[in-house]
Structure 1
Amino acid sequence: MNTQCDWIPAVGIQLRKAGVQFDAVRVDGDRGRALADRLAGLTGGDPGPVVEEANGLRGVYFLVPVGSTSHRSWPDGVTRLTAGRQHISYIPVPALHGPTWPLSWRYRPTAYDRLVHPLLLRAALHSAE
């Protein structure tokens, strides 16, 4: 993969400020993992970049275009990571290789400008309820 994504750290884990390269939608636990796999099935295996945590709430982060989650209803249990006038969120991003525990890529980025489609994500969330 040659994505040339400057927002992916070379090693380890880094926090990226929401609203710069992307925002994120977090869905915790098995629900988030099942949602990621459902999106992969709908997109031929390329849902866009999805990061998962192995500890804590076991969050699954769907990286979406900046501003794409606002002005839309989202189901309970969904956390939007965005930036605004008096609000800043940070999104954890692991390197593509090497030790990054507790984070890993459930679905790696495949192109620089390829992110999770927010309307497809929202529809998949609503259909799972």
Structure 2
Amino acid sequence: MELGNSPDPVPSWIPVSGHALRHVGIHFDAVRAIGMLGEEIAYEVMQFTDFQAGPIVRSGIGERSMYFLLAPGTAAGYRWPPGVEAMSRRAGVDAFVGVPALEGVTWPLDWRSRPTAEDPFVDAALLHAMAWLRAQEGAR
């Protein structure tokens, strides 16, 4: 990690301005949840963690997905519900995720929840539980 313009350490994979594509599986794994399901999962994870969930990136175009950034090598260790996709090297996916800067114009991406020194990644087990909870409630 390197220090940025904030009092907390800023991961080196976060760009200084705008946004940048980062290869999944290098600095983090990602779990993508599409549309309203992604919004609901993000809210549940954030509420459960007292709004200290770790890095969640929101895309403002297309299917308006949420990208939950997990520690490298963790996303493929779970079976995710329909509408939720693991993105990692272990999952056999060669993918990139857009990462916004912490400040300034970053459209079409923004932070739903930012990484912190205490929470550099979203907790994979918690995300998995909340994803299945929301998916099952949506199926009713």
- Give the secondary structure class of the aligned counterpart of 1:125: helix
Residue 110 (structure 1) aligned with residue 116 (structure 2) = yes
- Counterpart among 40, 64, 69 of residue 34 in structure 1: 40
- Residue of structure 1 equivalent to 2:70: 64
Higher relative contact order (CA 8 A, sep 6+): 1
TM-score by length of 2: 0.85
Partners of 1:95 and 1:78 in 2: CA distance: 25
* Identical columns (%): 38
List runs of 5+ in structure 2 lacking aligned partners: 1-5
Residue 101 (structure 1) aligned with residue 110 (structure 2) = no
Q: Contact 1:3/1:112 (CA < 8 Å) preserved in 2?
A: no
The within-5 A match list for 1:47-86 is: 47-84=53-90
Compute the RMSD of aligned alpha carbons: 1.7
TM-score by length of 1: 0.92
Q: CA deviation at 1:37?
A: 1.1
Partners of 2:79 and 2:92 in 1: CA distance: 21
Partners of 1:85 and 1:77 in 2: CA distance: 16
Q: Which protein has the bigger helix share?
A: 2
Q: In the superposition, relative to structure 1, how do residues 78 and 53 fare at CA in structure 2: closer, same or farther (>3 Å)?
A: same
